[in-house]
Structure 1
Amino acid sequence: MKITSAEVFVGGPGKNYVTLKIMTDQGIYGLGDATLNNRETLPAKYLQDYLIPCLIGKDPRNSEDIWNFFYRGAYFRRGPIAMTAIGAIDMALWDIKGKIAGLPVHQLFGGKSREGAMVYAHTTGGDIEQLLDSIAHHQEQGYQAVRVQCGIPGMPKDGYGVAGDGEDANHFITQYGELPKEEIWDTDKYLRFMPTVFEKIRERFGNDLKVLHDVHHRLLPREAAAFAKELEQYNLYWLEDPTPAEDQSALKLIRQHSTIPIAIGEVFNSLWDCKQMIQDELIDFIRISATYAGGITHTKRIVDLAHIHNVRTGFHGAPSHSPISMAAQGHLNAWAPNFGIQEYLVLGTPECDALFPSDHHYKNGMFHISDAPGLGVDFDENQAQRYSYERRYHPVVRLQDGTMWNY
């Protein structure tokens, strides 16, 4: 079996999904996701100009050698662009392997460790009451775990992860602009207010609800340590990205002062980015994604290392990942002995389902992978012709005096 061609498609309903399709001489094809959020054309171009020409003629069953060919064969290694492009190829090759074997991909890892993977939803509100209503709405949909973000009094209501005035907090997804929007951040106001949010959540919903919160890199290490210590009484499932992920030694300070579970890693793209924090057990959940971390092959290595050190998975799953990436992570979730939880934002609009048909599904707080061969997701090229690339940017953040801060 040989690879005969590969094609990259950019576009999708409301998102610039980057979809790779690899064809073989036996008519079997594989699909991969190379969506690097708000930098989508870069991995697409890297695939088209540099990686795809090297794929032609290779045996797609040799995915391990192909992965190392692109990783070890590159003098300038790693980085989100290269690893996202390699990740798409790797997903597509595992998709082909599963189709050849007539098995879903998780069976090639060793089979299922669970029937369904617990997922968490995003809940939000411009104020506490709106947030509490959003949580109640998602509980009615069966969610057992929610990430909570709330507007802070004295700060603009449309900050990170928060629905602004007139927006539906129950179906809110951050919309990115054609140029970067500038958000305003005030650490003191945040630190004073957020503990009251968790107090109200526990008063209304009790202790069984799994509550997660994303600081999104906004705190200095001392601030993060004090904040984590104060939040212990509210029994959070995790505190995500309390400080910028680059400074991993800062996690030691948090560990010295708090037992709150820490989740980090969605901006990482290799084992080497997170090796120290896993081995030193400075985190409790690793948040890498199969797209940004070089595909299934490399993500599985990270999961195996994490397992040894009592770190559970909590894969990134924002809507910037296409259903192909979510399927790849779904198979890893089904297998991983150290599975924790999966981020989940509903992608199942009629337009998205038409572009990426599959039988994977959500039910009662769990994501279920189908038994279809390969990744279990298809791609409709006719539907893809409806969409084209539209440039978008993440917001940027400034303090109230104008100083640039961490997004």
Structure 2
Amino acid sequence: MEITGYELFEVPPRWVFLKLETDAGVCGWGEPIVEGHAKTTKAAVEEMIDNYLLGKDPLEIERHWQALYRGRHFRGGPILMSALGGIDQALWDIKGKHYGAPVYDLLGGRARDRIRVYQWVGGDTPDAVARAAVEEVENGYRALKISVVSQLKRIDTPAAVEHVRDRLEAVRDEVGDDVDVAVDLRGRVTSGMAKWIAAELDQYDPMFYEEPVLPEHAGTLPRIESHTKVPLATGERLYSRWDFKQTLGSGAVDVLQPSPSHAGGISEVRKIATAAESEDVLVSLHCPLGPISFASCVQLDTTLPNAIVQAQNLEIHQTAENDLLNYLEDPSVFGFEEGYVSAPDAPGLGVEIDEKLVREQSKSRVDWQSPVWYHDDGSIAEW
């Protein structure tokens, strides 16, 4: 069996799907995307496949991963690792279909039967966030994630911090103490503000603080950790085991958040998670993306003993008339129940793509871009 061709589809809301074809008629799907850089990521995928992968045996996944990574003088970073990640997902999908087994069986089998999932909750005011949180709990989620900060100055006022506190307080008051609430700081604050915010929010017992600072400021994480009882989480903007090695070395992070669509695919994320396990660090795979990326995450979660909760924003509890799940032939394939999801047991990634819909939607103009925020003095703020 050899790889004979591929197609790339940019589809709403901001995703890229890769279809990898073989001469045996077995096709695999992956999701290589850097949000806001779809065209650049697609070009990187094309270079990797055209210059190396065509004509190769798709079953030799590790050899191909090493060649696509080490066979380049310049390596790593979001674009190249996301391109490699999507290709790796598609190769695992092919391999599973070839052997008639789900990916988790090829990775050693189940470490669990299901994984808890959390739902992202938003809103412009504390009351709005609280109402949205209650709605998601009623939908069956027992874990939520909220962003408590929008735009903060590098050192902001007590009133601004009070507004941050009010958002989490409102959610905790409404959902009670039996629901986990993760707090995403999105790297929007300085390390000084992160300490202040953590000191104010600790009383509401968040599940963890996500990206308290940007990854380039990871050296400040020990200082932040010393000011909070709450676990720290990071990793959505780290792209390889070597990036995560430095973060693990700080000893300040309790939860790593690699994404199979950004951090080199299923192959690399498994190695990152194993390294984390050796340091008694947990993983919560990051996935604000589409159903192929989510399927890759759930296949991994099933095999990883240190996975604790899975990110998603597909609203997987609601399968009827769900635009985000309509790319699947069977939108209910993930089996959401009581806040948990189980991995599909069909071969490969376990999902069947509605290729007709993908082709139709790929004719849309997508070109999603993140906004640019400004402080009141005209300087650029973190989004």
Q: What is the TM-score when the length of structure 2 is the normalising length?
A: 0.92
Partner residue in 2 for 1:357: 329
2:302 maps to what in 1?
334
Q: Which letter does structure 1 place at the counterpart of 2:291? A: P
Greater mean alpha carbon deviation, residues 102-111 or residues 200-209: 200-209
Q: 1: distance between equivalents of 2:373 and 2:131?
A: 28
User: Aligned partner of 2:328: which letter?
Assistant: F
Contact 2:291 2:314 in 1 (8 A): no
Q: Which whole-Å CA distance do the structure 2 matches of 1:33 and 1:99 have between them?
A: 17
Preserved CA contact (<8 Å) 1:244 1:406: no
Q: Within the alignment, does 1:401 sit opposite 2:371 as a pair?
A: no
The residue aligned with 1:214 is 184
Aligned residue runs from structure 1 range 246-265, under 5 A: 246-265=216-235
**Aligned residues of 1:185 and 1:398 also touching (Cα < 8 A):** no
- Does the alignment pair 1:233 with 2:203? yes
Deviation of the 1:312 alpha carbon:
1.1
Aligned position for 2:284: 314
Deviation of 1:350 (Å)? 4.4
Quote how far apart the aligned CAs of 1:50 are: 4.0
Alpha-carbon deviations, 1:83-103, whole Å to 9, x = none? Answer: 111111111111111112211
- Deviations along 1:224-256, whole A, 9 cap, x unmatched? 123223322211101111111111111011122
Describe the SS at the equivalent of 2:217.
coil
Q: Which amino acid aligns with 2:369?
A: Y
Match of 1:213, SS state, is strand
1:4 aligns with 2:11: no
SS at match of 1:248: helix
Find runs of 4+ consecutive structure 1 residues off by over 4 angstroms. 347-352
Letter in 2 for 1:343: A
Change (3 A) 1:378 1:126: same
In structure 2, runs of 5+ residues without a counterpart are none
User: 1:371 maps to which residue?
Assistant: 345
Q: 1:50 to 1:131 in 2, by over 3 A?
A: closer
Q: Could you tell me how far apart the structure 2 residues matched to 1:56 and 1:196 are?
A: 55
Inter-partner Cα distance in structure 1 for 2:96 and 2:351: 12
Change (3 A) 1:120 1:400: same
Give me the whole-angstrom Cα distance separating, in 2, the residues matched to 1:200 and 1:385: 43
Distance in 2 (alpha carbons) for counterparts of 1:380 and 1:128: 39
Deviation at 1:351, TM superposition (A): 4.3
The Cα of 1:344 is off from its aligned counterpart by 1.6
Q: Indicate which of 242, 246, 250 corresponds to 1:272.
A: 242
Q: Is the 8 A contact 2:290 2:314 kept in 1?
A: no
- What are the Cα deviations for residues 171-216 of structure 1, in whole angstroms up to 9, with x where unaligned? xxxxxxxxxxxxx544334322222333333333322110111111
**Aligned-residue offset at 1:118:** 0.7
- Partner of 2:236: helix, strand, or coil? coil
Residues of 1 paired with 2:249 and 2:53: CA distance?
A: 35
SS at match of 1:334: helix
Q: How does 1:20-31 map to 2 (within 5 A)?
A: 20-31=18-29
Alignment of 1:183-198 (within 5 A): 185-186=152-153, 187-188=156-157, 189-198=159-168
Question: Is residue 20–residue 88 contact of structure 1 (8 Å, CA) maintained in 2?
Answer: yes
Q: CA deviation at 1:33?
A: 0.7
* Unmatched 5+ stretches in structure 1: 153-159, 161-183
Corresponding residue number in structure 2 for 1:204: 174
Greater Cα offset, 350-359 or 114-123:
350-359
Change (3 A) 1:10 1:197: closer
- In the TM superposition, what whole-angstrom CA distance separates every residue of 1:363-400 from its partner, at most 9, and x where no partner exists? 22112211100001222332223123422210122222
Partner of 1:173: none
Residues in 1 aligned to 2:165 and 2:10: alpha-carbon distance in whole angstroms:
42
2:81 touches 2:263 (CA, 8 Å); kept in 1?
yes
SS of aligned partner of 1:277: helix
Does the residue aligned with 1:64 lie in a helix, a strand or coil? Answer: helix
Tell me, what secondary structure is at the counterpart of 2:368? coil
Question: Residue 222 of structure 2 contacts residue 250 of structure 2 at CA under 8 Å; is this kept in 1?
Answer: no
1:64 Cα deviation after fit: 0.2
C-alpha distance in structure 2 between counterparts of 1:193 and 1:37, whole Å: 29
Q: Is residue 105 of structure 1 aligned with residue 77 of structure 2?
A: no
1: distance between equivalents of 2:124 and 2:84? 39
Are 2:5 and 2:22, in contact at CA under 8 Å, matched by a contact in 1?
yes
Distance 1:190 1:266, change over 3 A: farther
Give the deviation of 1:42 after TM superposition. 1.0
* Residue identity opposite 1:293 in structure 2: A
Greater alpha carbon shift after TM alignment, 103-112 vs 385-394 = 385-394
Matched residues in 2 for 1:221 and 1:265: separation?
17
- The 8 Å contact of residues 119 and 143 in structure 2, kept in 1 or not, is answered as yes
CA RMSD, aligned part only?
Answer: 1.8
Query: Displacement, 1:17?
Result: 2.3
The alpha carbon displacement at 1:292 in A equals 0.4
Asked whether the 8 Å contact 1:125–1:131 carries over to 2, the reply is yes
Q: CA deviation at 1:71?
A: 0.2
Q: Deviations over 1:133-188 (max 9, x none)?
A: 111111110110111235x8xxxxxxx4xxxxxxxxxxxxxxxxxxxxxxx54433
